[in-house]
Chains A and B, each alone.
Chain A
Amino acid sequence: MSLMKYTAIELGKMIASGEISAVEAAGDCLEAIRKNEPDINAFVTVCDEQSVLKKAEEVQKKINSGELLSPIAGVPVAIKDNMCTADILTTCSSRILSNFIPPYTATAVECLESAGAVIVGKTNMDEFAMGSTTETSFYGATKNPHDKTRVPGGSSGGSAAAVAAGEVTFALGSDTGGSIRQPASHCGVVGIKPTYGTVSRYGLVAYGSSLDQIGPIAKDVSDCAAILEIISSYDTKDSTSFKRDDTDFTTALKNDVNGLKIGIPGDYFGTGLDSEVKKALLDAADVLKSRGAELEYFDLSLTEFAVPAYYIIASAEASSNLSRFDGVKYGYRTGEYENLHQMYKKTRSEGFGTEVKRRIMLGSFVLSSGYYDAYYLKALKAKNLIKQAFDKAFGKYDLIIGPVSPSTAPELGTSLDDPVKMYLGDIYTVAANLIGLPAISVPCGRDSKGLPVGMMLTGKCFDEKTVIRAAYTYEQETQI
């Protein structure tokens, strides 16, 4: 059996105890990747074997000398390809960055490296994190390990699939509108998006700057808590980073939801939600109730505004964030051009895929003079109303329980033709990004096709601990 079947913490313990070495773990991981990649395509870049093994050896030395004590010392990890890694190709799954090797490493990745995690590769994603299926990647679609005719979700589909397929024990993803939680849900793994400002965005190639957060994707809640604890940092290089002294998330791994007040937004469970997903969720809610949580239905309202507000704000920010990919300084540049304007035009036409172009155009439109007030400012107003609705809900409840996605993983090739329908699939996840709330996706059973269903637990800002505690309790109660 591959060592990648273990959780990150289990593997970390085996390495710490000397049962296996970091080099063995890395070798085993690379072997698992080699075996699975032809079917899954979870990676854009698998790091060179020699350099991975050398890195693992260095880590092992530090473990031996007692210098490295972290629970993931020596554990291999995969990083979503929108986080900069010095000397390792970082493409955002786009042609326009197909030759980009960053001169520096993202802070979150640095946190993992100082904890002794060994980077084995960069995972596939929707181009610039724009998409919910990992099909918009320049490097081809990633397949869902549970059913290879289906998508893994997105945009962190590569990270979720790599964990689910046992190619790595854990991975980093990023979540702008559900991009950690939704693929975690579709792949039957756990993913958490922390409160905005908890994990540094320095080195994360920006999509929607006010929405983006990095988070872990792993096999269970314990891993997620431990990894989140490691990558959380107050970073002076990120002005939106928040100074917190409560990031000891593993202390929340308690099997106890007694007296916890959980709200169920009735409007999340109406039309549009697949009936099998609904049933799985309500069963999961019952488990929490049986452990002493108090469940209550309420009306969150405003849900219909979340998706349009999100797509306006995210696209507006993206249209500006992606301007820098212009062929001048790095990345892809078109072969032939007669002047600067043509160079820009051809480079960007050839370098970006359809979905990215669509969102750049959408974002440029909503920011243009004459439309700014009607779209961008209105979206900000909607965001404020949604925040008020959540503030009100959190006045009554400790947590909100809901679906991650209206359905389980769709078949490959069925989503991109109808972008509006695809966007509406984000209906349950985007609010957490608009407001900055922490939210987790935990597997809660399967549908009749055997596809995983995820449950989303959303907490108050800075209250990851309650989210983790409830998710952990559910996981413990449903373990076979």
Chain B
Amino acid sequence: MKQYETVIGLEVHVELATKTKIFCGCSTRFGGEVNTHTCPVCTGMPGALPVLNKKVVEYAIAVGLATNCEINRNCRFDRKNYFYPDNPQDYQISQLYEPVCLNGHVDITVNGTGKSVGIHEIHMEEDAGKLIHEENGSMSLIDFNRSGVPLIEIVSEPDMRSAEEVISYLEKLRTTIQYLGASDCKLQEGSMRADVNLSVREEGSLVLGTRTEMKNLNSFKAISRAIDAERNRQIRIIESGKRVVQETRRWDDNKEESYSMRSKEDAQDYRYFPDPDLPGIFISQEWIDAIKADEPEFKTAKMARYAKEYGIPESDADIITDSRHMADIFEETVKLCGQPKKAANWLMVDTIRLLKENSMDPEDIRFSPENLAKLIKLNMSGTINSSVAKEVFEKMFDGDMDPESYVKEHGLAQENDEDALKATVQKVIDENPRSVEDYRNGKEKAIGFLVGQTMKAMQGKANPGIVNKILKELL
């Protein structure tokens, strides 16, 4: 049987985190009432003109620098002409001839092997509006709130060979862009979208096969599944002696299959030309330097520093630094309480579990480093025991609050006073003669039951270490 190699390139759209749209002052906020974040510019009114939001260029340059691109000092916008109702001007302002960033690369590691994925270019463009189709098919309505929301498109070289490499590349891009604060990069919400260009060829062949473009990929899992399915589909076609058709396909993740949207023959001629409403953008070296100077410490550097400064193992640091938000909370908490291992543990174990349970992203963490530091201190000082700490933490996770006042208000401080505890322990011993006997007969485990009974009697507020100690003394 023949061996095939999969060749994959990605086109990744990222919605930038600017407050206003790319060519007008309208808000980019998600979820406003239909057609409320609109003006003559983003609804394509006759005579309205675009004015570039400088922040968009800054974010694009920042992403370009972080992905080792050359910055095009004389970039400009072009019009991509096509008719569709979600596109109010019937052209999209994009970049074809002089994109803002060129010739970069992203370094990834898959199964311990390093690899560099080339970036062909990064360009800036505007998003379209959203069509809302009436259920009975009688009418379609348009919401222009999204129209003019700034995007960058990151076009890779066809350098990836497997779904693992693709995911690794996307994760690296996502973390980098999130660290820059340029986007929240949420695939589900569409603030990061990846189109997969894939072809297969016989192992050893130097000629690229015919590629297809896969759209509608809303999660890393969907991307993985789509890549495997498309690879197999193309191989089946080739094996059966037919030819792969160059086309755009749409992935249906429920059915785990794709279907053809349009073939190359239907491809439109977009009649790109420089937008005469927008003069070329001159990007000075000073501007580039200023953006470079603002660059945050990225994930890889952070991981190394955590190992060195805090003695945090790489695998732990990897999880914490996956999100800049989480890494920021970690560093701030450590600064306040001086307990890197404890802080790391709260984030890696409890926070990650709660995020998963609530299907949230690390970016959604609401508790403050101040309060996490307080919680760690409360626990360390023995004011609350670990199980109470967990309970308080869950409350903090739901809605940030001060653990000190919470513990006070709810009377959760544990009893550390031996004399005060002795009475309760004695009572437990008296009420559980069988367990006492078991223990005395050498059944060490029985003491656990007695500790538990004491804790229960104290409504969880006893210091379990002290309870253990008293029990041993009394028995």
Give residues in A with beta carbon < 8 Å to B.
82-84, 90, 92, 97, 100, 102-104, 106, 201-206, 208-210, 236-240, 316-317, 319-320, 323-326, 328-330, 340, 344, 364, 367-369, 372, 376
Contacts and interface: CB of A to CB of B under 8 A. Distances in A.
Given A210-B276, A324-B89, A203 B51 contact: no
A326 B44 CA distance: 11
B367 interface: no
Contacts of B89: 323-324
B445 interface: no
B323 interface: no
Contacts of A316: 273
Contacts of A103: 40, 45
Contacts of B88: 324, 328-329
Q: Which 5 residue pairs spanning A and B have beta carbons closest together? A: A323-B90, A367-B271, A210-B276, A209-B276, A205-B46
The interface size bin for chain B is: 20 to 34
A153 to B, nearest CB: 23
Given A323-B81, A328-B85, A364-B271, A206 B47 contact: yes
A319 B40 CA distance: 20
A320 B51 contact: no
A369 B51 CA distance: 28
Contact of B44 (A97, A201, A329, A372): A329
A106 B47 contact: yes
Nearest to B52: A239
B228 interface: no
Task: Kindly name the residue among A208, A320, A344 whose own CB sees the greatest number of chain B CB atoms within 10 A.
Answer: A320
Contact of A329 (B43, B49, B51, B83): B43
B273 A320 contact: yes
Given A237-B49, A319-B81, 16 more contacts: A84-B45, A90-B46, A103-B45, A201-B49, A203-B47, A205-B47, A238-B51, A317-B273, A320-B271, A323-B81, A323-B83, A324-B46, A326-B85, A329-B43, A367-B272, A372-B271
Contacts of B272: 367, 372
Interface in B80-108: 81, 83, 85, 88-91
Nearest to B86: A328
Interface in B308-353: none
A84 B47 contact: yes
A239 B277 contact: yes
Contacts of A203: 47-48
B211 interface: no
Nearest to B24: A237
11 contacts: A90-B46, A100-B46, A205-B46, A206-B46, A319-B271, A320-B91, A326-B90, A328-B85, A330-B45, A330-B46, A372-B273
A317 B276 contact: yes
B26 to A, nearest CB: 13
Contacts of A240: 49, 276-277, 279
A60 to B, nearest CB: 30
Interface of B: 40, 43-52, 79, 81, 83, 85, 88-91, 142, 269, 271-273, 276-279
Contacts of A239: 49-52, 277-279
A395 to B, nearest CB: 25
Contacts of B278: 239
Nearest to B271: A367
A368 B142 CA distance: 29
A368 B271 contact: yes
Nearest to A364: B271
B44 A324 contact: yes
Nearest to A340: B85
A237 B83 contact: no
Contacts of A237: 49, 51
A401 B48 CA distance: 35
B47 A202 contact: yes
A208 B276 CA distance: 8
Given A103-B40, A326-B90, A344-B83, A369 B46 contact: no
A328 B279 CA distance: 29
B274 to A, nearest CB: 9
Contacts of A83: 47
